[in-house]
């Protein structure tokens, strides 16, 4: 059972721990970083609960969720102000979206 969810859980844990570590780099989590972390947690939860790409619709839903998370992690600093940590968290969200797309594509190719 662990193997079934390891492909989703391990990247999500690395993603979230990287975000928290980045937010704590300056010693405090401000409201921008807290908002971004909330968006990241929501994205990790949605990625976990969405089906494991059983068809093109599921893959599109999973990737769309990751793109929305990346967009949300950019909108928060645009509204409340940028910091170097906020930009790194946004970059992590973009990399996660790219990794999600690659994972979905490889899963679809493997089942085709």
Domain layout of the chain by residue ranges: 2-111
Does pLDDT of 2 surpass 80?
A: no
pLDDT of residue 16: 78
Does pLDDT of 96 surpass 60?
A: yes
Angle, CA 90 vertex, CA 84 and CA 91 arms, to 5°: 90
pLDDT of residue 44: 81
Does pLDDT of 38 surpass 80?
A: yes
- Please enumerate in sequence order all residues whose Cβ is within 8 A of that of 75, keeping only pairs 6 or more positions apart, or say none: none
Residues 83/22, Cβ–Cβ less than 8 Å: no
The pair of structure tokens assigned to 87 is 């930009």
Predicted structure pTM score? 0.81
Average pLDDT, the chain: 82
Does pLDDT of 54 surpass 80?
A: no
CA gap 15, 107 in Å, rounded: 20
């Amino acid at each position: 059972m662990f193997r079934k969810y390891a492909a989703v859980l391990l990247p999500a844990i690395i993603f979230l721990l990287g975000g928290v570590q980045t937010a704590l780099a300056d010693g405090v989590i401000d409201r921008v970083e807290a908002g971004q972390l909330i968006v990241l947690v929501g994205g990790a939860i949605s990625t976990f609960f969405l089906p494991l790409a059983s068809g093109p619709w599921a893959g599109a839903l999973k990737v769309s969720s990751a793109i929305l998370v990346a967009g949300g992690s950019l909108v928060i600093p645009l509204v409340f102000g940028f910091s170097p940590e906020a930009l790194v968290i946004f970059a992590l969200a973009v990399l996660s979206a790219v990794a999600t797309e690659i994972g979905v594509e490889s899963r679809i190719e493997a089942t085709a």
